[in-house]
Amino acid sequence: MNAVEIEQALSDLALQPFDASEFPFAFLAAFGNKDTALKRLRAGHNNASDLPGGVLQRSHIHLAVCPPGGTGSALRTLRGSPATTKAKARFILATDGQTLEAEDLSAGETIACDYADFADHFGFFLPLAGISTVKEIKDNPIDVRATGRLNKLYVELLRENPDWASAERRADMNHFMARLIFCFFAEDTDIFNGDALFTRTVEQMSERDAGNTDQVLAEIFRAMNVRIADRAGANLRPWADQFPYVNGGLFSGSAAVPRFTRMARSYLLHAGTLNWKQINPDIFGSMIQAVADDEERAALGLHYTSVPNILKVLNPLFLDDLRAQLDAAGDNKAKLLNLRKRMARIRVFDPACGSGNFLVIAYKQMRQIEAEINRRRGESHLGSGIPLTNFRGIELRDFPAEIARLALIIAEFQCDVLYRGQKDALAEFLPLSAENWIVCGNALRLDWLSVCPPTGTGVKLAADDLFQTPLDHNEIDFENEGGETYICGNPPYKGSQTQTKEQKSDLASVFEPVGIPSKQIDYVGGWFMKAAAYAQATPAESAFVSTNSICQGRIVPILWPEILRRGSVIRFAHTSFKWANLAARNAGVTVAIVGLSTDKAKKRQLYDLDGDGETTAREASNITPYLTAGDTTVVEGRRESFSNLADMSFGNMPVDGGHLLLTAEEAALLGLNKSEDAKFLRRIYGSAEFIRGVVRKCIWIGDGDLQQALQLPAIRARIDSVSQMRRESKDAGTREMAARSHQFREMYCGERHTLILPGVSSEGREYLPVGLIDNRSVVSNLAFALYDAPLWNMALIASRLHLVWIATVCGKLKTDFRYSNTLGWNTFPVPLLTAQNKADLTRCAENILLARELHFPATIAELYDADTMPDNLRQAHADNDEVLERIYIGRRFRNDTERLEKLFELYTKMVAKPGSAKPAKAAPAKRAARKAAA
Ligand SMILES: C[S@@+](CC[C@H](N)C(=O)[O-])C[C@H]1O[C@@H](n2cnc3c(N)ncnc32)[C@H](O)[C@@H]1O
């Protein structure tokens, strides 16, 4: 269950009459506990409580219902109960049906409230559903509540008015919802006269069976579109005439209202009872946007982006600088005035703005600074000089776009109340400005210079979007022309596999005109490219949250040289961290923040998370596209190692239709005797066989043994099947191979041994799982092979240094490390190794193998599970790291950042002098020998 659903369930429970015996189970049900689990608890099977009437769910909660007046002492009993400790309960809760007290034993926080109000504290209990709470939600449940209530209303209205769900009417539906949200907010903030004017009027004037609710609403909305001066002739009903003139685009246009059911009417009235004054436009906006999206509705409330995360973008982008200027100004009035003037000219542009949370937070933070300036200058009465229209956005979907504008309007009003007082805020609020400065459209197709025209020029460019539709938005002047422009946001991330056809074509429209293939680029790459192009035309700085894959692997050499060529540098970056949301078990994605600037003189800042999860900042003379400090280098694949490392290639490709490969059972069914088995069958390893210990065999026949093999009917049948498959293939190369259907496409096998390395490895492992197989075993094309490689190569692959290099330059496939021999192995920079170094590393590799042996028959998957990795194996790897890192820098590296920066430093030097560390290669001769041996 998500946060919105839990809040609804708890609110429903709080409204029901208190039932002492049922309460603990009803409470647990509200957090998504299934009937079967509750049945077992009820029957006492899983109930670990040691108190009469107590219910204890292991690791979660110990609840007790007590006689009237006993809540406090019942909570103490729960706290002292041995069962609470033994079952590691995180929460204890006691209630007598009149009051309720609870404690989060891990955080040490408590709540005490009237029973009827306990649902207000739903945020406190969210960890029970595996949702880590966010302070803003915990402190203020209104945003989640409002989202839940409006969602119910939305769903019910669409059920009753299916035609409003059509593509043509959706915009009307969304506009209608935006009007409602405005009315709820306005009636609780004195924008409308009188207490709860809107909800009360609907309740009083509409029939209980909801027959005329749509007409009542339509009349109220009509009133808000009629200027006071025109009211006399408008023939408004007297109860509608009490509403002010609002318009601002919000109440113009279609006056249609969907038909209401009795249920929909009661949902509307229910939503009206909330205190909308406390709404946080940034939080509420992010939550509510899923309401209008059929696919996203299940994830209601999950896409909430916490304010601290948004500030990770906005602070280094420009807010830190404003605050530093404020500090430097002290009480100097002239300096304070300069800063105020500077802020009045700042434009913030989010080209994937969703419901406008980045814009709202930027606006609120700037208002806070402005208020402080005014306070220091003794001018707290002054109106704000920061125009809302300087906060621009592009959003693809119309509902979030609509909400974004509303969220900014609400934020402006709330800031006015906070800094200037209710009276002044009200005096200037209505009518709303009719300007719509949030563009609903496709940011990769729109011309950003048109949506957010260059500063100081006064020139308005014509839009050149895909459909050649003129944008009226660019007709809205930026107020106080000539200031700074900051582009920010959290554009959508989509890898090439998950992009729709339209998104692929959006990307192509950005990259192909400059000759860059866009197939492998993540969708978010389009925003970086457009930001760099924008900054070429007019001074601007930008910063986006992005999947960290944009700064890893194959995409780096494709994307970043062009961005740098356009004159942008990475001015600041936040290396990978989890972008948490409110999803249960916190399935946040790993992201990075990258800030671009064309001002090369500005200081560069790199932000990392330290071991305790705290952000640390450091200055760097340059930040590379891999988000490391150092000279900019882009790693490209090489055909050979430049560090004198062994050849690494894919293993042998069967191209066999499955006929050369056998399970252990199939191999037994061939009916071969021992010597035939030894001669014609070999164990074969791909990634799965190596990691999970699955036994698989293959038919492996040297040319000289073919005649003997053909005498064996079972083998002959398989070879015939391979032959048929190859002959019928559409591929000419495969057809050619039909002449030697007893063999794989390649026939390579180590003479002494082979090192094997899977092509992908789970990100949970602390080391890459490289292994050693004997000269009777074959590596398939589903893994990499190093034939007869000296064992010190294994020590390199098994090191932390190598893992860090691979994660960065090869990137990931979903969440797994994706290995590449050309990009990751051949480029791996290793200092010149002495004979002693090689001997030491060989010993380390042997120790790793021996450590694994001690746990025979544990599989690699079991041995390298980070949670259960045996101590001796971990120690063997640590020793290996110690030896290798001493070779690099004479001591252990302090952290992965230092590892990576050293590797890049070496890489840069090696690329500058390609010949210096390049070995003489004799690969073709070696392979020929191996093939002959096969
Ligand atoms: C990850 S959300 C970020 C929204 C908001 N800033 C937040 O944190 O919740 C990305 C937004 O980009 C919008 N979007 C997706 N593709 C777009 C496109 N081509 N042009 C403009 N907006 C787009 C989505 O509708 C979504 O609202």
Q: Kindly give the distance from the C-alpha atom of residue 588 to the centroid of ligand 1, in angstroms, as a whole number.
A: 17
Mean pLDDT of 873-891: 98
d(CA 245, CA 432): 9
Residue-wise pLDDT for 568-613, tens only, equals 999 999 988 777 665 555 556 788 999 999 999 999 999 988 777 7
Distances (CA, A) of 908 to 121, 749, 901: 56, 35, 10
- Report pLDDT for 195: 87
CA-CA distance, 593 to 573, in Å (whole number)? 5
**Which residues, 6 or more positions from 600, have their beta carbon under 8 angstroms from its beta carbon?**
569
Q: Which two tokens stand for residue 623?
A: 């930040």
Percent of the chain with pLDDT over 70: 91
Amino acid at 301: G
Please say if the pLDDT value at position 555 is more than 80: yes
Cα–Cα distance measured from residue 251 to residue 225, given in angstroms and rounded to the nearest whole number: 5
CA of 430 to the centre of ligand 1 (A): 30
How many angstroms is it from 167 CA to the middle of ligand 1?
Answer: 19
- Summarize pLDDT for 827-858 with one digit per residue, the tens: 999 999 999 999 999 999 999 999 999 999 99
**Residue 531 CA neighbour count, 13 Å, CB half:** 33
Name the phi and psi angles at 780, rounded to 5: -85, 175
| Max Cα–Cα distance, the chain, nearest Å | 107
Q: Contact 217/265 with Cβ under 8 angstroms?
A: no
- Please report the pLDDT score of residue 609 as a whole number: 82
SS3 for 118-135, per residue? Answer: HHHHHHHHHHHHCCCCCH
pLDDT tens per residue, range 810-825: 987 666 788 999 999 9
Instruction: Give the contacts of 287 (CB within 8 A, at least 6 positions apart).
Output: 4, 143, 144, 147, 300, 301, 303, 304
CB of residue 443 inside a 6 A radius of ligand 1? yes
Residue 442 in contact with ligand 1 by CB distance below 6 A: yes
Note the pLDDT of residue 921.
40
What is the Cα–Cα distance from 835 to 59, expressed in whole angstroms?
55
- Cα–Cα dist 713/790, whole Å: 40
Q: pLDDT band for position 242 (50/70/90)? A: very high
pLDDT score recorded for residue 129: 85
How confident is the model over 383-393, as a mean pLDDT?
Answer: 93
Task: Say how far apart CA 516 and CA 536 lie, in whole Å.
Answer: 18
Q: From the CB of 400, is ligand 1 less than 6 Å away?
A: yes
Contacts of 737 (CB under 8 A, 6+ apart): 655, 726, 745
What number is the average pLDDT over the span 752-779? 93
pLDDT at 768 exceeding the cut of 90? yes
Whole-number Å distance, alpha carbon 490 to ligand 1 midpoint, is: 7
- Give how far Cα 603 sits from Cα of 52, 281, 321, 573, 606, Å: 65, 34, 12, 12, 10
Phi, psi of 697 (to 5 degrees): -120, 165
Weakest mean pLDDT among 23-37, 154-168, 293-307, 365-379: 293-307
Higher pLDDT, 862 or 398: 862
pLDDT at site 281: 87
**CA angle, 69 as apex, 65 and 70 as ends, to 5°?**
50
Residue 350 CA: nearest ligand 1 atom is 6
pLDDT at 343: 96
Residue type (1 letter), 370: E
Do residues 120 and 141 lie in contact, with contact meaning Cβ atoms separated by under 8 Å?
Answer: yes
How far away, in angstroms, is 293 Cα from ligand 1 center?
13
Mean pLDDT, residues 853-880:
95
Average pLDDT over residues 857-886: 96
Per the listing, tokens 């197709």 go with 445
Atom of ligand 1 nearest to the CA of 394: 21
Q: Determine the distance separating the centroid of ligand 1 and the alpha carbon of 526, expressed in angstroms.
A: 13
Q: Is 362 in the pocket of ligand 1 (CB under 6 A)?
A: no
pLDDT digits (tens, 9 = 90+) for 623-639: 999 999 999 999 999 99
Query: Strand, helix or coil at 305?
Result: coil
The C-alpha R_g of the chain, in whole angstroms, comes to 33
Cis peptide before 857 (omega within 30 of 0): yes
CA dihedral 417, 419, 420, 421 (to 10 degrees): 40
**CB environment 9-41: b (16+ within 10 A), e (fewer):** bbbebbeeebeeeebbbbbbbbbbbeeeebeeb
Percent of the chain surpassing pLDDT 90: 71
Residue having the nearest C-alpha atom to atom 13 of ligand 1: 352
Return all residues near 26 (Cβ < 8 A) that are at least 6 apart.
13, 16, 19
pLDDT score at 635 = 94
Contact 347, 389 (CB under 8 A): no
User: Is residue 581 within 6 Å of ligand 1 at its C-beta?
Assistant: no
Average pLDDT of 307-322?
95
CA distance 344 to 362: 13
- Separation of alpha carbons 576 and 65, rounded Å: 46
What is the 3-state secondary structure of 210-263? Answer: CCCHHHHHHHHHHHCCCCHHHCHHHCCCHHHHCCCCCCCCCCCCCCCCCCCCHH
State whether the beta carbon of 358 lies less than 6 angstroms from ligand 1: yes
Q: What pLDDT digit, counting tens, does each position of 97-110 carry?
A: 999 999 999 888 89
Averaged pLDDT score across all residues of the chain: 89
Measured between its terminal Cα atoms, the distance across the chain in Å is 58
Could you give the CA distance from residue 311 to residue 358 in angstroms, rounded to a whole number?
A: 9
Give dist(CA 413, CA 425) in Å, integer: 6
Gap between the Cα atoms of 666 and 696, Å rounded: 9
Ramachandran angles phi, psi of 296, nearest 5°: -90, -10
State the pLDDT at residue 918: 42
Residues 332-341: what's their mean pLDDT? 96
Q: Are 388 and 409 in contact (CB under 8 A)?
A: yes
**Angstrom distance (rounded) from CA 520 to CA 502:** 15
Whether omega for the bond prior to residue 431 falls within 30 degrees of 0, making it cis, is yes
Q: Which atom, in ligand 1's list, is nearest to the CA of 357?
A: 6
Band (pLDDT 50/70/90 cuts) for residue 301 is: low
Closest alpha carbon to 16 in 148, 140, 119 = 119
Question: Looking at this protein, which amino acid is placed at residue 157?
Answer: L
The alpha-helical segments, DSSP class H, found in 551-696 are: 555-565, 664-669, 674-680, 687-692
Closest CA to 4 of 582, 784, 828, 500: 582
Task: Report the alpha-carbon distance of residue 514 to residue 392 in Å, rounded.
Answer: 27
Confidence band, pLDDT 50/70/90 cuts, at residue 327: very high
Residue 485, classed as helix, strand or coil, is strand
pLDDT tens-digit readout, 141-181:
788 888 889 999 999 999 999 999 898 888 889 889 989 99
Q: Is the dihedral of CA 905, 910, 916, 918 positive or negative?
A: positive
Q: How confident is the model at residue 565 (pLDDT cuts 50, 70, 90)?
A: very high
Report whether residue 526 contacts ligand 1, using a CB cutoff of 6 Å.
Answer: no
Query: Which residue did the predictor score with more confidence, 602 or 459?
Result: 602
Which of 305, 395, 527 is the pocket-test mutation for ligand 1 (most atoms within 8 Å of CB)? 395
Range picked from 380-384, 495-499, 724-728 for highest mean pLDDT? 724-728
Distance between CA atoms of 905 and 749, rounded to whole angstroms?
36
In whole angstroms, what is the distance from residue 489 CA to residue 354 CA? 9
Which of 765, 859, 876, 873 lies closest to 819 in space, CA to CA?
Answer: 765
What is the whole-number distance in angstroms between the Cα of residue 352 and the centre of ligand 1?
Answer: 4
- pLDDT at residue 701 above 80? yes
Residue nearest to atom 27 of ligand 1 (CA): 354
Q: What is the pLDDT of residue 469?
A: 35
- Between the CA of 395 and the centroid of ligand 1 the distance, in Å, is 6
pLDDT at 463: 34
CA torsion angle 665 669 670 676 (round to 10): 70
Ligand 1 atom with the smallest distance to the CA of 442 is 20
CB 521 within 8 A of CB 511: yes
Residue 220 near ligand 1, beta carbon < 6 Å: no
State if residue 530 touches ligand 1 by the CB under 6 angstroms criterion. Answer: no
* For ligand 1, mutation pick of 394, 490, 505 (most atoms within 8 Å of CB): 490
Residue 258 near ligand 1, beta carbon < 6 Å: no
Residue corresponding to tokens 């035609």: 163
Q: What spacing in Å lies between the alpha carbon of 900 and ligand 1's midpoint?
A: 32
Strand 347-350 relative to strand 391-395, pairing: parallel
**188, 233 in Cβ contact below 8 A?**
no
SS (H, E, C) 600-626: CCCCEEEEEECCCCCEEEEEECCECCC
Taking the C-alpha atoms of residue 402 and residue 438, their distance in angstroms, rounded to an integer, is 8
Show the tokens assigned to 865: 């599970």
Q: Mean of the pLDDT values across residues 717-742?
A: 96
The rounded Å distance from CA 401 to ligand 1 centre is 10
Residue 481 pLDDT:
63
Percent helix / strand / coil, the chain, rounded to 5: 50, 15, 40
* Helix, strand, or coil (residue 67): coil
Can you tell me the mean pLDDT for 712-734?
96
Taking CA atoms only, the protein residue closest to ligand 1 atom 4 is 354
User: Please, is 224 exposed, middle or buried when counting C-beta atoms within 10 Å of its C-beta (0-12, 13-18, 19+)?
Assistant: buried
Q: Give the pLDDT mean for 739-745.
A: 96
How many whole angstroms from 500 Cα to the centroid of ligand 1? Answer: 15
